[in-house]
């Protein structure tokens, strides 16, 4: 059993942005079989698995904006005015743990891995990959 790590750096250009990172992860996988943990080191971002379809990606943003609305005075906004970003991240997840088969992510037909920026634009967001396997 081997444990290996790597990382991805991402620059974002919008306040809310969904970026497909599936191919970047596959390029960095250095095990043949096992699992990979994909972790965002930022509390105003998320890692999710879903379908890469433009209408669905718009629906994700629309839904999050309607669950966590602008019309409320959030306590955290006294610190740095980004409570909505933190709350959206809380509803999503900072990580995913996925199977690796034949040196690639073993995803379903329509699945992709996404980094979701919730408080951009930001420079040098870090995603850590921890691979366990053979």
Q: What is the CATH number of the domain that holds 60?
A: 2.60.120.460
Domain assignment present for 74: no
Domain assignment present for 90: yes
Domain assignment present for 13: yes
Report d(CA 30, CA 94) in Å as an integer.
22
Domain assignment present for 77: no
Domain assignment present for 75: no
Q: What is the pLDDT of residues 3-45, one digit of tens each?
A: 999 999 999 999 999 999 999 999 999 999 999 999 999 999 9
Question: Which domain range does residue 63 map to?
Answer: 2-68+82-133
Of 112, 111, 114, give the one whose Cα is nearest residue 92: 114
Q: What is the pLDDT of residue 71?
A: 85
Give mean pLDDT, residues 84-98: 98
**3-state SS, residue 14:** coil
Domain assignment present for 76: no
pTM: 0.96
Q: Where are the alpha helices (DSSP H) in the chain?
A: 22-28, 54-67, 77-80, 83-91
Q: What is the pLDDT of residue 59?
A: 98
Q: What is the pLDDT of residue 8?
A: 98
Q: What is the pLDDT of residues 38-77, one digit of tens each?
A: 999 999 999 999 999 999 999 999 999 999 999 889 999 9
Total tally of structural domains belonging to the chain: 1
Domain assignment present for 109: yes
Q: What is the pLDDT of residue 27?
A: 98
């Amino acid at each position: 059993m081997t444990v290996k790590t790597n990382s991805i750096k991402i620059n974002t250009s919008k306040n809310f942005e969904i970026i497909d990172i599936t191919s970047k992860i596959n390029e960095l996988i250095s095990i043949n079989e096992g699992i990979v943990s994909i972790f965002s080191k930022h509390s105003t971002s998320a890692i999710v698995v879903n379908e890469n379809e433009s209408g669905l990606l718009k629906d994700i943003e629309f839904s999050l904006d309607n669950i966590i609305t602008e019309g409320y005075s959030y306590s955290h906004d006294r610190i740095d005015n980004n409570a909505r970003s933190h709350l959206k991240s809380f509803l999503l997840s900072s990580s995913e743990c996925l199977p690796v088969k034949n040196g690639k992510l073993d995803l379903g037909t329509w699945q992709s891995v996404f980094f979701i920026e919730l408080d951009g634009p930001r420079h040098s967001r870090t995603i850590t990959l921890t691979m366990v396997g053979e």
